[in-house]
Structure 1
Amino acid sequence: MPASDAGEWVVLGRVSGIYGVRGMVKVFSFTEERDAILDYSPWYLGPARRPWVLEDGRMQGEGVVAKLEQVDDREQARALIGQEIAVLRAELPDPGAGEFYWSTLIGLRVLNREGVALGTVSAFLETGANDVMVVDDGKGGELLIPWSAEASAGVDLSVGRIIVDWQADW
């Protein structure tokens, strides 16, 4: 039986389309290296987290395509479009020192160096130049704070907070 606690799941991508006539799906991968999503099986799809065994997969152009067991035609593959691909957190390798999975940081409190509460982490954005931490200020707004090695040095998981060099009015 798969884990039931949402905190035990990490979403690695989503099914974005169909590929070919033999039931392959296109995958939009959230992993740093796009094809790293193929290192995990089973994939747990959709809100019910139904397990699907990964039979085969590869890079196809700039994207990833995959063949799941028991998905043998275009219509079966089409039914999976839009579903999130999750794995159990325990299946992920431990991050190195000073490294964090973004999903671990979602929900942490964010304070600046002066101790002013800025809000909670709601998401991260990959912009190409640098990553950005999205902080919900609790007042209907959000702050976009550059994420860097320096910012990650302020993470304290034991107390659930991140200290950043940032002002509330920036």
Structure 2
Amino acid sequence: MTTAGDRLILVGRIVGLHGVAGEVKLESYTDPRMQIFRYQPWLLNTPAGNREISGCRGREQGKGMVASLPDVADRDLAASLVGCEIKVRRSALPQARPDEYYWTDLEGLEVVTIEGVALGRISHLLATGANDVMVVRDGERERLLPFVLDEYVKAVDFEEGRVTVDWDPEF
């Protein structure tokens, strides 16, 4: 059985090569992007199977990022990793502060109105610039609800697996 701490979280991707010594270019989904190096070990989905690596180091290079991976010392081996997703166990991430949530922890939670009307489950979240948005699906319908604490999101209860919102179920 997989626990919440063992769940794998996508934090980046190897997108290219840098030089001849086995360095790779990364795309990081963390904020700030260099934070990806604090979350280790990495789990890579390589063509030869899953590979766990620790001790990855990196730097910003122009508009991108370059990483050195342990035991990857030549361009050919690095080339075999291009396209690999970089995942970490949920337990590698720091504890969220009060009133802050990892999107991955919200996905799958049931969404109900303050009157108790079920709206569906959180499929995923979107960043819109103004605020994050929950994509809530109930099988027939998809709703986009702003994830704005106190105004629309009244409570997040992980033990009950529920998010309570102030929202018109007809909207």
- In the superposition, the TM-score normalised over structure 1's length comes to 0.84
SS at match of 2:27: strand
SS at match of 1:35: helix
Q: Which residue of 1 aligns with 2:130?
A: 129
Q: Which residue of 2 aligns with 1:165?
A: 166
Which letter does structure 2 place at the counterpart of 1:71?
V
Describe the superposition over 1:21-60 as per-residue Cα deviations: whole angstroms up to 9, x where unpaired: 2222222222121110011232111285421223420122
The 3 A distance-change label for structure 1 pair 126 and 77 is: farther
Deviation at 1:106, TM superposition (A): 0.9
Deviation at 1:160, TM superposition (A): 0.2
Distance 2:93 2:129 in 1: 24
Matches within 5 A, 1:12-161: 12-46=11-45, 49-139=50-140, 141-150=141-150, 151=152, 153-161=154-162
> Percent of counterpart pairs with the same letter?
44
Which letter does structure 2 place at the counterpart of 1:60?
Q
Say whether 1:5 aligns with 2:6.
no
The 3 A distance-change label for structure 1 pair 118 and 61 is: farther
Root-mean-square deviation (Å):
2.2
C-alpha contact 2:154 2:166 (8 A) present in aligned 1: no
Larger Rg: 2
Which letter does structure 1 place at the counterpart of 2:104?
S
C-alpha contact 1:12 1:37 (8 A) present in aligned 2: yes
Deviation at 1:113, TM superposition (A): 2.1
Distance 1:6 1:85 in 2: 20
Aligned length: 166
C-alpha contact 1:34 1:63 (8 A) present in aligned 2: no
- Structure 1 moving runs of 4+ over 3 Å: none
- In the superposition, the TM-score normalised over structure 2's length comes to 0.84
Q: Structure 2: which 5+ residue stretches go unaligned?
A: none
